[in-house]
């Protein structure tokens, strides 16, 4: 907003002040209401005002229309600071800025590396909702924005640790010349009663989603997930924490079989054993495109060489080239194997029903099964939104873990009750023990 001397002053919340320093990469991550988008929208307007002729692009992975872009938010900042009189001109599909500068808006999925060459002269690129940015788009964008002093800005609410932006900023090898800040609703100096009401409604009405939506935690449970309530109850009762193996009990390895091609489905193994009426999940393994030998090596190196291998029905099917099945190959490697018969057309719904029924007695060793828990929390139905019909489970990255987990619930057998032992008595009513 302009002061008495006509100078425009931009206010910044303290949490974002580190991002005002020059850096090639700038990131802000956190939950809803933290002001991430407002900060970068203001920063874009500030750079356009202070550096006449600057070219800025605002990006989303998917942008079907300008209604889905940051354009409205940037327009609000321009109007708030009264910048229409300072060379800003809002047009239908772009914003003209002082000195023939420009702010444009695009979706990465609509472009290729060739079509993005026109952005080579742009100095600033802001990726909004960067958690959805694909690795392909990330790899195309970075070398495209390369003019002297150029910067790439990213704002996101973490979804999974494997998202491209999360690996880039928060992985084991963060980039050079980067500044990244964590934000939350607590850092928002302009917090409103409306936002507070929304936050509290989520806290009490959707506790399983609250940490992700408002605190910036990874998305442990997807809205509408089949096991949302079950996972919330398990975490609340302490059954997702730390559990231990009983050395006297047999390990069982429940598989979902993938393939060895680059685009093959993932192979998943859950390690569990049954202690009384408790079902303990002790470990989780997932791999893509690896041969059977890699899976066997993991089993042996983690002490599961004596585990019973429980395979889905396709474990008995022979490879078309080598005439060998997972069942026969694992048996040849010295494992005991059980193949579960085909459950028929209703197999998926049967697995879901059985899983929900058994969940109250299931425990997880969180440290070693966290990736599997992520998948269970994301396992959800395909939906016909117009008719509000559940079309059955979505076949995606989460379904492999859920299928193997559900297979365990299908084959689980209740422990047989044993009669209480009573000492025998002789004719004089004296008890004696068998030794």
Where do the structural domains in the chain lie, given as residue ranges? 14-187, 228-411
Average pLDDT over every residue of 49-66: 92
pLDDT confidence of residue 215: 92
Half-sphere CA count of 247, side-chain side, radius 13 A: 0
Bin 204: left if φ > 0, else alpha if -120 < ψ < 50, else beta: alpha
> What is the C-alpha separation between 399 and 256, in angstroms, rounded?
10
pLDDT confidence of residue 279: 95
Average pLDDT over every residue of 280-287: 96
Per the model's pLDDT, the better-predicted residue between 418 and 147 turns out to be 147
Average pLDDT over every residue of 217-230: 83
Percentage of the chain modeled with pLDDT above 90: 62
pLDDT category of residue 419 using cuts at 50, 70 and 90: low
pLDDT category of residue 7 using cuts at 50, 70 and 90: low
Token look-up 């490697």 returns 333
Q: What is the pLDDT of residues 349-402, one digit of tens each?
A: 899 999 999 999 999 999 999 999 999 999 998 876 666 667 778 888 999 999
pLDDT confidence of residue 232: 86
pTM of the model: 0.67
CATH superfamily, with its number, for domain 14-187: P-loop containing nucleotide triphosphate hydrolases (3.40.50.300)
Per the model's pLDDT, the better-predicted residue between 41 and 245 turns out to be 41
> What is the C-alpha separation between 11 and 80, in angstroms, rounded?
12
Q: Among 3.30.420.280, 2.40.50.100, 3.30.420.40, 3.40.50.12160, what is the CATH number of 228-411?
A: 3.30.420.280
> What is the C-alpha separation between 269 and 307, in angstroms, rounded?
12
In sequence order, the 6+-apart residues with CB closer than 8 A to the CB of 199 are 32, 33, 185, 214
C-alpha triplet 413, 272, 378: angle, nearest 5°: 100
252-256/89-90 β-pairing = unpaired
Per the model's pLDDT, the better-predicted residue between 416 and 274 turns out to be 274
Residue 142 has pLDDT above 70, yes or no: yes
Structure tokens at 274: 């049954």
Structure tokens at 9: 């002053």
pLDDT confidence of residue 361: 95
> What is the C-alpha separation between 144 and 117, in angstroms, rounded?
7
25-39, 65-79, 218-232 — most confident range: 25-39
**Of 68, 58, 37, 45, whose CA–CA distance to 152 is shortest?**
58
> What is the C-alpha separation between 185 and 11, in angstroms, rounded?
17
Residue 274 has pLDDT above 90, yes or no: yes
Q: What is the mean pLDDT of the chain?
A: 88
pLDDT confidence of residue 417: 57
278-288/252-256 β-pairing = unpaired
Q: What is the pLDDT of residues 332-346, one digit of tens each?
A: 999 999 999 988 778
């Amino acid at each position: 907003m302009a002061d008495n001397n006509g100078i425009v002053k931009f206010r910044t919340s303290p949490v974002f002040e580190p991002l005002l320093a020059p850096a090639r990469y700038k990131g802000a991550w956190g939950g809803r209401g933290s002001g991430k988008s407002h900060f970068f929208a203001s920063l874009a307007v500030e750079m356009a005002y202070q550096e006449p002729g600057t070219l800025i692009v605002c990006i989303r992975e998917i942008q079907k229309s300008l209604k889905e872009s940051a354009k409205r938010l940037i327009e609000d900042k321009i109007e708030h600071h009264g910048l229409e009189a300072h060379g800003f001109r809002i047009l239908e599909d772009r914003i003209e800025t002082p000195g023939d500068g420009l702010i444009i808006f695009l979706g990465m999925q609509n472009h290729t590396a060739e079509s993005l060459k026109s952005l080579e002269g742009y100095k600033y690129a802001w990726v909004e909702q960067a958690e959805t940015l694909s690795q392909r788009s990330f790899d195309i964008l970075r070398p495209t924005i390369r003019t002297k002093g150029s910067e790439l800005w990213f704002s996101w609410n973490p979804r999974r640790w494997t998202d491209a932006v999360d690996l880039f900023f928060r992985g084991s090898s963060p980039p050079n010349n980067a500044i990244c800040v964590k934000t939350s609703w607590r850092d928002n100096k302009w917090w409103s009663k409306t936002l507070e009401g929304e936050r509290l409604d989520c806290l009490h009405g959707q506790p399983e989603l609250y940490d992700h939506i408002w605190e910036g935690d990874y998305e442990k449970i997807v809205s509408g997930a089949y096991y949302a309530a079950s996972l919330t109850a398990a975490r609340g009762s302490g059954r997702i924490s730390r559990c231990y193996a009983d050395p006297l009990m047999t390990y069982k390895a429940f598989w979902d079989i993938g393939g060895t091609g680059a685009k093959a489905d993932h192979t998943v193994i859950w390690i569990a054993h049954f202690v009384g009426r408790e079902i303990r999940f002790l470990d989780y393994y997932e791999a893509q495109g690896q041969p059977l030998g890699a899976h066997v090596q993991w089993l042996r190196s983690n002490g599961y060489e004596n585990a019973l291998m429980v395979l889905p029905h396709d474990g008995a099917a022979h490879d078309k080239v080598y005439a060998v099945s997972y069942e026969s190959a694992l048996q040849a490697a010295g494992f005991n194997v059980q193949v579960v018969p085909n459950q028929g057309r209703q197999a998926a719904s049967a697995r879901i029903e059985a899983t929900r029924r058994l969940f109250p007695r299931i425990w997880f060793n969180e440290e070693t099964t966290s990736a599997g828990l992520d998948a269970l929390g994301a396992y959800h139905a395909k939906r016909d939104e117009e008719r509000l019909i559940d079309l059955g489970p979505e076949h995606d990255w989460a379904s492999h873990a859920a299928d193997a987990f559900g297979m365990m619930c299908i084959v689980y057998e209740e422990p047989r009750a044993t009669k209480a032992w009573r000492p025998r008595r002789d004719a004089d009513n004296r008890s004696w023990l068998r030794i």
